[in-house]
Structure 1
Amino acid sequence: MKRKYIIYLALSVSFILSISFSFYYYTQALKYGQQIDGGKDNQSAIPAYHFALIGEEMDHDYWRLVGEGGKDTEEKYDVFVEYTGPRRSNPEEQLELLDIAIKSKVDGIIVQALNDNFLPMINKAVNEGIPVITIDTDAPDSRRSTYIGTDNYEAGRLAGKTLVEDTNGEATVGIVTGSFDNAHHQLRVQGFREMVKQEEGIKIVAIEESNITRVTAEEKTHQMLKEFPEIDALYGTSALDGVGMAQAMESLHLKNDEMYLIAFDILPENVELMEQGIIDVLIEQKPYEMGYHSIELMLDLMKDKPVKDTYYTDVNVVRVQDLIKKRDGL
């Protein structure tokens, strides 16, 4: 008797589940049909252009601003901007996303070209009729149409000039760079070296690579400061290098007035460290403007309008007093 009851119960449950699933798929089918019908009546709602914007790292405030700039153009122009990128910095994954964009036959591609491996893929896109704009990091030897972003060599020179002025030409410097391989970090180091080498009182005694992570930046800075205790100035070429360097200083109980620290980007953590007197200077880039204007340039290409070879966005030196003035609306 008990066995019959269990069988009856199981059959009842199966029947109820089958009815439920049937109802669910029926309602989904209705919705899908309505979407198709609606699409037929609203062809004008489909954007005229589909652009792919491929950044370095989705999980990073700097690239979020680039993405926001690109996506915000959808409110003004008849475009769909597909913003994508690796969660963490990964050139190989970026190349895969670039390949997918080409195979998807998007109307245009905006991509950061981190190294020489991007050149053949950019050329492939252009050969297949898809214009390419490089952003943040250029590939001038490729067939890209134009570049928009920071002049990274000049940004490095600006950082070097600022350090020279602030230290009166007397400093022992340690450098933490985001990547030895990435072109824009190489240029920021080259420009910095070019500027400070003119000063006999400034010596660069160490340079380490952070792999664009705050943890590695802290580890490498800690190691650097233990090996070269005479270092009294630090230069970081990526936004996260500044945070990592500051954490290393804290772990070694170094006081703010014992170390001059210059880094990149006006991001919340860097601003907080500057307000605490830990970071002395930030080199400000314009990531939102890069993203927004890259789409406008791509639209010019769609309309066969001429574009320049490069479009450099502004770079500024920011100190704590500048933050205060901005906050107070002065």
Structure 2
Amino acid sequence: MTMIGRCWTAAFGLLLTTAACGSSDTAGAGTDVGRIDRAPTPASEFTPVELEATVDRLIAMINESTIEPMQMVILLKNLDTFFEPIATGASRAMGELGVTGNVLGPTDQSGDPTTSQDLQNQQIEQAIAAGADGIGISPYGDINAAAVDDAVANGIPVVTLDTDVATSKRSLYVGALNTSAGATAGETLLPMLPPPPGTVLIHGNIGSDWGDGHARTQGAMQVVKAAGYTPLVSQAAFFAGEAFDVDWMKGQIQSADPPVVGMIGLFNISYRCVMGADAAGIPDVPIVAFDFDLRTVDYMRQGRIKATHTQRQYYEGYLVPYILYGIRTIGLDATREVLAPLMDGDNRVNIGLDVVPSGKIDAYNSFLDEIGVGQ
């Protein structure tokens, strides 16, 4: 086992004895009602009003129940950069709920995706062995399906976040709906483009093996194509490295026919689109991005990236412990009913998407500061 694997095992050894700090008591077999006291979220133009109201309704339902103490674990691909707000939200929710649990993940992803995937499956096995009552996970895809199903077979509800394993028996997925998210990015870019013809390079995902990335890419492609432009996908190289990614984009831009007139980045490494444009000699091409990486924000301040689309990572992390808690206390069907305003179908919770123009960086940063996840 790797050092990371040993550290994760040690963390699970603490799972049964480490309680999140909050306003609730979990001692005893069954507790009094009305015990969750959630602090109000500061109002902002970026506050997701319906999502906030839904959390309050779920808390009201839970507070009418008599509950048992609960252990849960939230498993993330990482604990920094993109995933840091998710970890913050999950930790805060567990503190408010007073549950026993941890948010786990390596501080740096392995350069080998297979190793990371295997280690995450080990985490699920360790959560089962540690007696977890609920698991939230940001999975790698279908490679995690068997481990998720094993948890469910052991009576442990599983909620996925950010990415999904739709082929598994997980209870719910929480996050942005990727096809519509990609389409939104395309619609943001269109007003910035010259009339067609022209090529729009999409820094996305070509293969269907990563369903979420593929769906987001397809959403962007559909909007671009419907508007009369030629979509060209450059495969985002998460594991091959930045230099490889930029060089690949450069080659595609230089060989595009008709010429590239705009670029869309669909993931947290969207800032690389600026590097690709510079390498290909088209520094003035309009670019829209995804997520709020510091490098993306820097390029926005320089006017190089015109807008970004954030996935409300904090709320992804924050909502999952409440959903797991709801499943345990009031049941899955009742939890779904409360979540109905956010539901797409029977098993997907859509937390929505924020479109942040470059001129709104400071306002958005203020909102993030207010909820405790500022840059």
Deviates more, 1:190-199 or 1:204-213: 204-213
Q: Is the 8 A contact 1:54 1:110 kept in 2?
A: yes
How far off is 1:275 after superposition?
0.8
Offset at residue 165 of structure 1 (A): 2.7
Task: Tell me the equivalent position of 1:81.
Answer: 101
Q: Secondary structure at the match of 1:272?
A: helix
Deviation of residue 250 (structure 1)?
3.3
Q: TM-score, normalised by structure 1?
A: 0.77
Provide the residue aligned with 1:3 in structure 2.
none
Aligned position for 1:72: 92
Q: What's the counterpart of residue 76 of structure 2?
A: 55
Match of 1:264 in 2: 290
SS in structure 1 at match of 2:139: coil
> 1:39-66: per-residue Cα shift (whole Å, max 9, x none)?
xxx9949x932211111223x4111111
Q: Structure 2 CA distance, aligned partners of 1:107 and 1:310?
A: 21
| TM-superposition CA deviations, 1:232-281 (whole Å, max 9, x none) | 322222111x22222233344543x2x12121102222111101011112
For residues 132 and 179 of structure 1, the distance between their equivalents in structure 2, rounded to whole angstroms, comes to 28
1:323 positional shift: 1.8
2:139 pairs with 1:113:
yes
Aligned-pair CA distance for 1:155: 0.1
Structure 1 residues 108 and 136: alpha-carbon distance in aligned structure 2, compared to 1, 3 A threshold:
same
Q: How does 1:95-134 map to 2 (within 5 A)?
A: 95-134=121-160
SS at match of 1:318: strand
Matched, 1:317 2:355: yes
Higher RCO (C-alpha 8 Å, min separation 6): 2
Assess, with a 3 A threshold, how the Cα gap between structure 1 residues 327 and 247 changes in structure 2: closer, same or farther.
same
Residue 225 (str. 1) matches residue 263 (str. 2): no
Q: Which residue of 2 aligns with 1:291?
A: 317
- 1:109–1:131 contact (8 Å) kept in structure 2: yes
Unaligned ranges ≥5, structure 1 = 1-34, 36-41
AA of the residue aligned to 1:61: T
Alignment root-mean-square deviation, CA: 2.7
User: Equivalents in 2 of 1:319, 1:218: separation in Å?
Assistant: 24
The aligned residue for residue 307 of structure 1 is 335
2:204 matches 1:177: yes
Q: Is the 8 A contact 2:121 2:144 kept in 1?
A: yes
Q: Does 1:275 align with 2:321?
A: no
User: Which SS does the other structure have where 2:142 is aligned?
Assistant: coil
The alignment status of 1:148 with 2:186, answered yes or no, reads no
Residue 65 and residue 325 in structure 1: after superposition, are their counterparts in 2 closer, same or farther (change >3 A)? closer
State whether residues 312 and 354 of structure 2, in contact with CA within 8 Å, keep that contact through their aligned partners in structure 1.
no
Partner AA of 2:105 in structure 1: G
Deviates more, 1:126-135 or 1:264-273: 264-273
- AA aligned to 2:147 is M
Instruction: Show the counterpart of 1:24.
Output: none
Residues 173-217 of structure 1 deviation map (CA, whole Å, 9 limit, x = unaligned): 1222267332221111011112222122x1123432312654443
Q: CA 1:328–1:52 in structure 2 vs 1: closer, same or farther (change >3 Å)? A: closer
Q: 2-side partners of 1:302 and 1:43: how far apart?
A: 14
Moved over 4 A (4+): 42-45, 324-329
- Of 184-193 and 107-116, more deviation after overlay is shown by 107-116
Correspondence for 1:198? 226
- Structure 1 counterpart of 2:262, which letter? A
Could you tell me how far 1:125 is from its partner in structure 2?
0.5
Kindly provide the CA deviation profile for residues 8-63 of structure 1, in whole angstroms up to 9, marking residues without a partner as x.
Answer: xxxxxxxxxxxxxxxxxxxxxxxxxxx9xxxxxx9949x932211111223x4111
Q: What is the Cα deviation at residue 126 of structure 1?
A: 0.6
Q: TM-score, normalised by structure 2?
A: 0.68
SS at match of 1:106: coil
Offset of residue 282 of structure 1: 0.6
Size of the alignment, in residue pairs?
A: 283
Alignment correspondent of 1:211: 238
SS of the residue corresponding to residue 164 of structure 2 reads coil
Q: 2:193 aligns with which of 153, 156, 167?
A: 167
CA distance in 2, matches of 1:130, 1:328: 38
Matches of 1:205 and 1:237, distance apart in 2:
13
State the distance in 2 between where 1:313 and 1:43 align: 29
Q: What 5-or-longer segments of structure 2 have no aligned partner?
A: 1-16, 18-24, 29-67, 337-346, 368-375
- Residues 328 and 134 of structure 1: CA distance in aligned 2, closer, same or farther (over 3 Å): closer
The alignment-based identity, stated in percent, is 20
Cα pair distance change 1:231/1:114, threshold 3 Å:
same
Label 1:227 to 1:93 Cα distance change in 2 as closer, same or farther (>3 A): farther
* Cα distance in 2, alignment partners of residues 281 and 203 from structure 1: 21
Equivalent-residue separation in structure 1 for 2:355 and 2:195 (angstroms): 18
C-alpha distance in structure 2 between counterparts of 1:302 and 1:161, whole Å: 40
